[in-house]
Amino acid sequence: DVQLVESGGGLVQPGGTVKLSCIGSGFTFRTYSMNWVRQAPGKGLEWVSYISSTSSTKNYADSVEGRFTVSRDNAMNSLYLQMNSLRDEDTAIYYCARGVGYSYLLTWGQGILVTVSS
């Protein structure tokens, strides 16, 4: 079965940092683009970041540009999101999602909660 499992969330103070990880299994990780999508409590989905299969292309939402960095290690079937200068409004469940190019998100992880609060 295709599976994505996120880890690394938790409570962090405003201005702090956290690094999320996502491990994929059941598919050829290195051939798929990957994304991070977040959902604030009681709100809709917000795309955060995209990384191509070879890491040659990375894109970010305006709301996180310059603060978040996406990366991947295809040898480890892993996706990462380094989150710096965190703000209250970054509080959300963060999902990693397997993408089909610049198109749809085929498979989602179960999500990991990041809470930014003092």
Partner 1 sequence: SYVLTQPPSVSVAPGQTARITCGGNNIGSTSVHWYQQKPGQAPVLVVYDDSDRPSGIPERFSGSNSGDTATLTISRVEVGDEADYHCQVWDRSHPCVFGGGTKLTVL
Contact positions vs partner 1 (CB under 8 A): 35, 37, 44-47, 50, 59, 61-62, 95, 100, 102-111
Q: Which is nearer to partner 1, 12 or 37 (by Cβ)? A: 37
Structure token digits, residue 4: 């994505």
Amino acid symbol at 72: R
In the bound state with partner 1, the residue whose beta carbon lies nearer, of 27 and 47, is 47
Return the bridge partners of 23, or none: 5, 78
Cβ atoms 92, 38 nearer than 8 A? yes
> Residue 103 in contact with residue 1, Cβ under 8 Å?
no
**Would you say 31 or 118 has its CB closer to partner 1?**
31
Shortest approach of partner 1 to residue 39 CB, angstroms?
9
